[in-house]
Amino acid sequence: MIRVGLTGGIGAGKSTVAKTFIERGAYHVDADRIAREVVEPGTPGLAALVEAFGPEILAADGSLDRPALAARAFADPEGIQTLNGITHPLIGARTQELNEAAPADAVILHDVPLLVEGHMAPFYDAVIVVHTDADVRLDRLVNLRGMDAADARARIEAQATDEQRRAVADIWLDNSGSPDELAAQARRVWTDRLIPLRDNQLAGVPAELPTEPVPADPQWPAVGTRVVNRLWALLGGTATAIEHVGPTSDPTVPAAVGVIDARVTVADAAAADRAAELLSAGGFPPLPGAEPRVHATVDPGRPARVRIVVAD
């Protein structure tokens, strides 16, 4: 299975992309739905919120009055910390339950509005960002959803910037056109990127790496940063250092083979073996025909090679 993170600003059009993927068999995990489930009447989550913020956060029918909760929880940093301390572990546990229930060949789609704000991007095999300019989103929220303009503007401004989203995006979908055009983009991503990625992961084989030099791409350092962050998420304390190396790490190189090379440094041979196991399980199987301890990504859209080295 692979895990795909879907995100974008409020009103960007994530639901169209999610619907397109679900129609093709994606296993949908909706963060907003989970956040509601864990505080439904009768749940430990709602009881904990009432204990922390008082019975005034309840509606007449015993359900959570979200505006009342927001008025108390967001009044100060301590309230936000308390709210997150109650809800985040519950959301995480329910998400893990759903992940474990997914079929072995699933494309698990995590629909997470605050993926960027929560620094969750490195924990996905691929991150998809749906982009729409802020003024267009504001118009949609006000005229299509009936939101108050000031509230809609405040929500947009409170979320991640376009630059922050672009920094983590493996796939960038432009929703400046019609819903049909966005759905067509999503279908191509499903067919050309996600299914090959999933199939390579299931087979335990890397995607084919390019071999011919191309003009230097100014995005290579950003892609390298995403690869390094992904490797840290996979390896954690097993590695002592992870670096983007080689020609694609040097912005002054005029041309190079477009492969992101990363070097993982470990303390000893046992750590090297453990790193190889974690890489293979996490979407970086051994590269056929290469020397030992060289791995490559299963993602056909992000050519990357990883070399494990033992510190001197």
How do residues 249-289 score in pLDDT, each as one tens digit?
Answer: 998 999 999 999 999 999 999 999 999 999 999 999 999 99
Q: Is 276 annotated as a binding residue?
A: no
Those residues whose C-beta lies under 8 Å from the C-beta of residue 14, and which sit 6 or more positions away, are 6, 7, 8, 111, 113, 130
Q: What is the pLDDT of residue 255?
A: 94
CATH class of 2-200: alpha beta
Contact 218, 251 (CB under 8 A): yes
pTM over 0.75: yes
How do residues 107-122 score in pLDDT, each as one tens digit?
Answer: 999 998 889 988 999 9
In the structure encoding, which two tokens stand for residue 157, read together? 């401004």
Same fold, 2-200 and 213-310: no
The band of 32, judged by pLDDT with boundaries at 50, 70 and 90, is confident
CATH class of 213-310: alpha beta
Q: Is 184 annotated as a binding residue?
A: no
Contact 9, 141 (CB under 8 A): no
DSSP state letters, 175-235: -SS-HHHHHHHHHHHIIIIIHHHHHHHHHT-PPPPP-SEEE--TTHHHHHHHHHHHHHHHH
How do residues 278-302 score in pLDDT, each as one tens digit?
Answer: 999 999 999 999 899 999 999 999 9
Contact 299, 126 (CB under 8 A): yes
Q: What is the pLDDT of residue 211?
A: 95
First-to-final CA distance of the chain: 36
The band of 192, judged by pLDDT with boundaries at 50, 70 and 90, is very high
Q: Is 12 annotated as a binding residue?
A: yes
In the structure encoding, which two tokens stand for residue 221, read together? 């350092």
44-53 helix and 66-73 helix, angle to the nearest 10 degrees = 50
Q: Is 258 annotated as a binding residue?
A: no
The band of 10, judged by pLDDT with boundaries at 50, 70 and 90, is confident
Per-residue pLDDT at 61 exceeds 90: yes
How do residues 119-158 score in pLDDT, each as one tens digit?
Answer: 999 999 999 999 987 777 777 777 777 777 777 777 777 7
Average pLDDT over residues 61-79: 86
How do residues 234-245 score in pLDDT, each as one tens digit?
Answer: 999 999 999 999
Q: What is the pLDDT of residue 139?
A: 75
Those residues whose C-beta lies under 8 Å from the C-beta of residue 184, and which sit 6 or more positions away, are none
Pick the closest to residue 271 from 230, 305, 235 (CA basis).
235
| Residue boundaries of the structural domains of the chain | 2-200, 213-310
In the structure encoding, which two tokens stand for residue 109, read together? 């789609």
Q: Is 14 annotated as a binding residue?
A: yes
Q: Is 280 annotated as a binding residue?
A: no
Per-residue pLDDT at 305 exceeds 90: yes
Strands 304-310 and 294-296: antiparallel
d(CA 189, CA 173): 9
